[in-house]
Each structure stands twice: as C-alpha cells, then as structure tokens.
Structure 1
C-alpha cells in the first residue's frame, strides 16, 4: 500500500487527528511546544529557519509517525537518542503516556528540553545530560534516533539498552538502505524499511531485537 505523503500543514494536522485522536489538551500542548521551539531557535540552533513555515509537516508529523509505527501494545521505556530539540521525543511524550528518556549531551539543549517538559507538565519525561556512553544501562522497549549518528555507530553505542523485544525506530533520510547494507547480515535481517510520511525521498528503519556484543561494530 502506498504511503500518503503529507504535503501541507493542514494535511499534517488532519493525519495527527486521525492517527492519535488528540484531546484539546494535546493540541494545546503541541501548539505550545511549537511556539517554544520557534522562540528558542532564535537563541540556539535547534531547527532550520527554513522549516518554520512547515512546522507541522517537517517536525511534528515527522516525529509523530514514529509513534504510529510503534504498533505494539507497550507502556515500556522509550529512549530517544540525541534528542536535541525534542524531536521526536517530546512530540511522542505529548501524544502518549510512555515513559520517555531524552538523551542529550549539550547543556543548552537539555535546559530547553527540561523547560518544555516542565511547562507542559510532562512528568513522564526524564532528561539525561550526558554522552550516550556515560548513560546508565537500562532496558528500552523502544529506541529512536533522529540524525544522531551513522547507523553502525548508533547501534554500536546503543545496543546495550536493547532486549529481544526492543523496537528500533530510526529515520535515515535518503541513506537508509545504504546504511543498512553496512551492518552484519544477521542484524540486517531484523530491520525493514518504511516510507516516511513527510518526505517522498526519506525512509525509516524499523526493527525488533537486540544485537549480541560479539557482533557490535563488525560488518
């Protein structure tokens, strides 16, 4: 089945409404998050200025589609790597009650993430200000990463958080297939490619499972 590409702000909002049935409070929080993100981007480089007119497509729906792809009935921990501007982590946290761990090494970005979580009363969000290598190991039900690192490095750094049932949701733009081909064959077999809803030329790697230590970093 062909994936409908969201090409307007109206279409993005309509898709979010259909996919998640947000309450009035959810819509208010999404609007508030957008306003905070735009304001903070004038102070630090969180998002490209060129994307501000299309926030709902480029950032909100682009993040929310990962939650739509996490089709299991899970209330386990979601870890968002290199969370930066809170994309997708804060969008997922607004639209769901999943416990969310935002991993970000840059102080100013962590300050922003904490301010949004506090402002929007997202008590299920935890921000860890540290490189991923220094984050305490804990099992993740879902791991996401948007523009965090090349796939082989991403998996090498984060595999210790995964279990046999961990769900990986990894937007990889136009390089998804190329990056997947660099992994060990057994690891490649755990993933499939999904078309992005927000960019006809972008793809998302979706997988389930963990990577044995002896395979990490090997091709």
Structure 2
C-alpha cells in the first residue's frame, strides 16, 4: 500500500477530511524527524509509515461503535503513538497513552502539544502496574505483551462491555487459543488490511477462570 493508496483508504473507509489528513501529515513529518535521534519505529518502515503505522492504527476504528456513550480509550505501550495518537486525531475519544520509557514519554508529550490534543490526550508516563485503576470503554495494545500477561496487567481497567482491540500479527489465533485456559471472553479474529496474514483480536473479556476450573479442564484433556 503506497502513501496515496493509504490516504485513499482513509478517505473511503473512515471519511477522513482533508484538514485531518494535513494534520496526519504534520505528525508523520514530526515522527520522521524524531526518529533520527531515537528508535521510535523500525527503520524498515520509515518509508511506509502511512500504511504500516497510520492505516494499521486507523483500521481499529472499523470495529468500534460510534454511537457508544462512553469514549475513554486506553492505549498500552504507546511508543511512537500507534495506535493512540492516530485514534485521537481521527475521533473524539479521550485517549490515555501508557508509556514508561523516558524518551518516549517526552516525545509523546511534545507530539500531543504540537497536535493541539492536550484537552483530550493524557500521557501516563508510568508502567501499567502504577496506573490508577479506572474503567475504559476501549483498550488497545500493539506489540505490548503476550496475551495472558496483557490480560493480567490490564483486566482491572475493563468492564464486561470494554472493547479490546489487539493487533496480534500472525500469531493472533494461537495466542487467543493459548489464553483461553486462563481467561474467558468473546473474541473474534479480524483480518488486517495492511497485512493479509495478520490478525486483530476484537472482543470483550469476561474474566479470569478459577483455578479449579482450569484444573478440571486439564484433567479432562488427559
């Protein structure tokens, strides 16, 4: 997907305005400058930011409910701002970006100010373990942690109605199958528009299975 194709996709599928596309362009140029002094994204993706990072982040909006009343979005391990900053630029969500690395925190704070998002985007410069507990309507995580650990750390921020949007690459199916021994939920695996072999876990989490239930299940399998 070229930059032109990525922009066309954003216009067609998400109805992104010319003004917002200009703001995304400003963000991309900012990211490229910053990437010269710190490893924000893989060097191999620098020439493909629009497809590998912008559209890859924006496609998560295809699975959200625009009519939902709650609009608090928690983005785990935000790094260079994907998907959190892109979501904030394309929507009215109040977004919390969780990032614990000092240089990334500084970069994100400057990006938020430059993009005039300080009224809707908060940079939580702490580890997830230290973030205050609060319910969020959407939780996203892009290359944050293996699924069981991710749920262990982040389940306290979710309700039964919280929508989880988890790009998991080519291991999406295997990760969810492995996590089901410990966690219950209703997830489906959706195809990524930027990688035909990659999957996005989309769904809700019902909670951690009791140790006894896990033991009984393992016993039946034997």
Shorter-chain TM-score above 0.5: yes
Secondary structure in 2 matching 1:160: helix
- Within 5 Å, which residues of 2 pair with 1:39-188? 39-74=33-68, 75-122=70-117, 123-184=119-180, 187=183
Please report the RMSD computed on the Cα atoms of aligned residues, expressed in angstroms.
1.8
1:173-194 CA-partner distances (Å, limit 9, x unpaired)? 0111111111235845511100
Question: Which has the greater radius of gyration?
Answer: 2
Could you say if the C-alpha distance between residues 172 and 11 of structure 1 is closer, same or farther in structure 2, counting changes exceeding 3 Å?
same
1:44-103 CA-partner distances (Å, limit 9, x unpaired)? 111112111111100100000012221352342100000000000000000001000000
Query: Contact between 1:81 and 1:102, CA under 8 Å: does it hold in 2?
Result: yes
Matched positions, count: 211
**Larger mean Cα displacement after TM superposition, 18-27 or 141-150:** 18-27
CA shift, 1:160, in A, is: 0.2
Q: Which residue of 2 aligns with 1:17?
A: 11
Gaps of 5+ in 1: 1-6
Q: Compute the TM-score of the two structures, normalised by the length of structure 2.
A: 0.89
Q: Which residue of 1 aligns with 2:30?
A: 36
CA shift, 1:135, in A, is: 0.2
Matched residues in 2 for 1:32 and 1:12: separation? 16
Q: Compute the TM-score of the two structures, normalised by the length of structure 1.
A: 0.90
Secondary structure in 2 matching 1:190: strand
1:126-153 CA-partner distances (Å, limit 9, x unpaired)? 0001110000001010000000000110
Structure possessing the higher relative contact order (Cα contacts under 8 Å, 6 or more residues apart): 1
Matched residues in 2 for 1:151 and 1:180: separation? 7
Query: Contact between 1:79 and 1:101, CA under 8 Å: does it hold in 2?
Result: yes
